[in-house]
Structure 1
Amino acid sequence: MHLLTCLSLVFTTFLWGGTFVAGRQLAGSVAPEHAAFLRFVIGSAVLLLLLLAKEKRLQLPPPRLWLPLFLLGLTGVFAYNVFFFKGLHYISAGRASLFIASTPLVITLLGAALLLEKLTFAKGCGVITSLMGAVIVISNGHPAELFSGIFGPGEFALIGCVISWSAYSLIGRSVLKSMTPLSSVCYSSIIGTLLLLPPAIHTDLFSRVGSLTPRDWLNLSYLGILGTAVGFSLYYRGIEKIGATRASVFINLVPVFALLLAWVILDESIKPAVLVGGLLVLCGVTIANYRRQ
């Protein structure tokens, strides 16, 4: 097991757990199109600075990689974030996390179907175990309640998140053969930011940006710096080291951290069942990433 890689992915999911709290706090005051665009303006600026600090100069990718990079920006930045912020306008952060927790299963199945990664018994067991744990965590021990509501625009938006992120993870494999994780994330983030600009302008971005409060900017900064620049870079480094399927299993830790942070920041209660679910998630992540020497 790549211990440092796994620890970095755990830290990534901790940061992404916080994005649900930040996104939910923005939902009542900032339009989804504005929140998505401003998040990636901040994130892209930080990524550029990190890339310059590491490589000392900017080197444009070869022409053959621009299409995959465009697809990364379209799926993981543009589509995912439009769906993410729209979903959080309609449903709670915990319920939203249920859909995100299904992402590893989708990535595993798509990866096997497209022959990108071999689906082993251990990987399958790990994904299913961690998904079960995530469901218990999100539902506070009452999984049936998660499916008692009617599917609405929020639920459909979160399904869009899952599909978008699955595509982003799988497409990234081909890009990482020729580019570093930091450079691929940086350029795809810039492309996604440009794609997010037209809908932001169409919804009167410039006339409303002046009304953002310090709290809004704090949440946007968290989303851009930690949730995007740091989180995306670490996640892609994880894909490079252990593959898309094994790296994606860590996403099941996101709802665990999301509820823990909501408990600390938003004073939401946590039941003992959440601890049991969290242990299942950790067991599933360990099973999926364990390799006999």
Structure 2
Amino acid sequence: MKDNQSIAIYFWMLLVPLFWGGAFVAAEHVITEIPPVTAAAFRFGIAGILLSIYVLWNKRIDIEAFKKQWKTVLAMAITGIFGYNIFFFIALDITSAINGSLIVATTPVLVTLGAVLFLGEVWNKQLSFGLILSLLGVFVVISKGSLSTILSLEFNAGDLLFIGGLLSWVAHGLLGKIAMRDVSPVVTTAATTLIGSIFLSAVSLFEGGWGDILDMSTQAWGEMAFMIVCSSVIGFLLWNNGIKQIGASKASIYMNLVPINTAWLAVVFYQSTITWAQILGMVMVIMGVYFVTLHPYLKNKQRIAAK
């Protein structure tokens, strides 16, 4: 039974990039109706309230454990929920989405390095191969297979903000591994989303867009509901649970599936186009994720069965 639960997390984690990729597509339309930071504050605020109600209703919180890790949880909220979103949205106004996507694509590599250096996780050739293969695949997807697109990129101050967002997210993942030594994933997710939304709400006041929320279209409300329930509540619960169970390095590789899901969801729901080069890139990413996550697990199972 325990063995089935162990392998199940690898498949459950596939929902994370699906929901987060969908969030990119949904947010692209939502922020045409309400300001971006306001949208993020509303999204994480409602998600945090829902999760907090669940935690309190089921009495899932260990007060002593939370007291032990409250500083780490606060740091997670500031980096992963508040910092990442602020850096991301401000940077998008200054630089291109392609620049940002390429910078953020290095997340698994940096998280893995951090996990190896600070959390005692193991580095090996298979992990290296999977990371490099999936990273190259992401570059192909984002650039649509055009080398000239990559070579013609111009970097500016906005890219430094994207790097700030990247480092915020890396810190969030590494801090999560530390916090969840004592605090459960559901309590960690509830606390970080709620606290992060408070910081986002404070900044959103400068946008003056809260009055626009009630005037959102039916489509925007549907997209917001998806971001709250799927991308925030379920997505972050699975993400934190994945970090706890399989480690920050293996969990982070799933991030490279986010642009894959963003691409095909945009094709299906928003009539975007896709190239054969992008499809090849998607296959590279999927193979890279497989080599980092499921392949070593199945290989170990075969070794045990042979004994």
TM over 0.5: yes
Change (3 A) 1:158 1:210: same
Given residue 130 of structure 1, which amino acid in structure 2 is its aligned partner? S
Supply the AA of the counterpart residue of 2:30: L
Task: Output the CA distance in 2 between the equivalents of 1:209 and 1:266.
Answer: 23
**Unaligned ranges ≥5, structure 2:** 301-307
Distance 1:96 1:272, change over 3 A: same
Which residue among 275, 281, 291 is the counterpart of 1:271?
275
Cα distance in 1 between the residues matched to 2:96 and 2:50? 29
Letter in 1 for 2:277: A
**Contact 1:32-1:86 within 8 A present in 2 as well:** no
Aligned to 1:252: 256
Partner of 1:128: 132
Partner of 2:287 in structure 1? 283
Question: Contact 1:135 / 1:143 at 8 angstroms: preserved in 2?
Answer: no
Matches within 5 A, 1:106-117: 106-117=110-121
Matched residue, 1:231: 235
User: How has the CA–CA distance of structure 1 residues 95 and 9 changed in structure 2, closer, same or farther, with 3 Å as cutoff?
Assistant: farther
- The superposition leaves residues 44-102 of structure 1 with CA deviations (integer Å, 9 ceiling, x where unpaired) of 1232244346x346554532211001001001110111223334455666654333321
Select the residue among 257, 262, 282 that pairs with 2:266.
262
1:209 aligns with 2:213: yes
Q: Please, what TM-score do these two structures have when normalized by structure 1?
A: 0.90
Cα pair distance change 1:221/1:156, threshold 3 Å? farther
User: Which secondary structure state, in structure 2, belongs to the residue aligned with residue 269 of structure 1?
Assistant: coil
Larger deviation, residues 206-215 vs 36-45: 206-215
CA contact (8 A) 1:52 1:58 kept: yes
Q: 1:56 to 1:285 in 2, by over 3 A?
A: same
Whole-angstrom CA distance in 2 between matches of 1:264 and 1:153: 34
1:198 aligns with 2:216: no
> Is residue 41–residue 204 contact of structure 2 (8 Å, CA) maintained in 1?
yes
CA distance in 2, matches of 1:158, 1:39: 21
Shift, 1:283, TM fit? 1.3
Cα distance, 1:114 vs structure 2:
2.6
Q: In structure 1, what is the equivalent of residue 105 of structure 2?
A: 101
2:174 aligned residue: 170
Residue from 78, 82, 86 that aligns with 2:82: 78
Corresponding position of 1:37: 41
Residue identity opposite 1:101 in structure 2: A
Kindly name which structure, 1 or 2, has the bigger radius of gyration based on alpha carbons: 2
1:69 and 2:73 are equivalent in the alignment: yes
Post-superposition offset of 1:206: 3.8
RMSD value, Cα? 2.3
Kindly tell me the number of residue pairs found equivalent between the two proteins: 292
Q: Which runs of 5+ in 1 are unaligned?
A: none
TM superposition score normalised by structure 2: 0.86
Query: How much has 1:279 moved relative to structure 2?
Result: 1.3
Structure 1 counterpart of 2:199, one-letter code: L
How many angstroms does 1:189 deviate by?
A: 1.1
State the distance in 1 between where 2:276 and 2:241 align.
Answer: 34
Percent identity of equivalent pairs: 29
Mapping 1:134-153, distance limit 5 Å = 134-152=138-156
CA distance in 2 between partners of 1:282 and 1:246 (Å): 13
CA distance change for structure 1 residues 147 and 271 in 2, over 3 Å: closer, same or farther? same
Q: 2:32 aligns with which of 28, 31, 36?
A: 28
**Cα deviation code 1:119-178 (max 9, x no counterpart):** 222111111111011111122111440352322455343323221111000000111111
Amino acid at match of 1:168: H
Could you tell which deviates more after superposition, 128-137 or 283-292?
283-292
Aligned mates of 2:225, 2:159 — CA distance in 1:
26
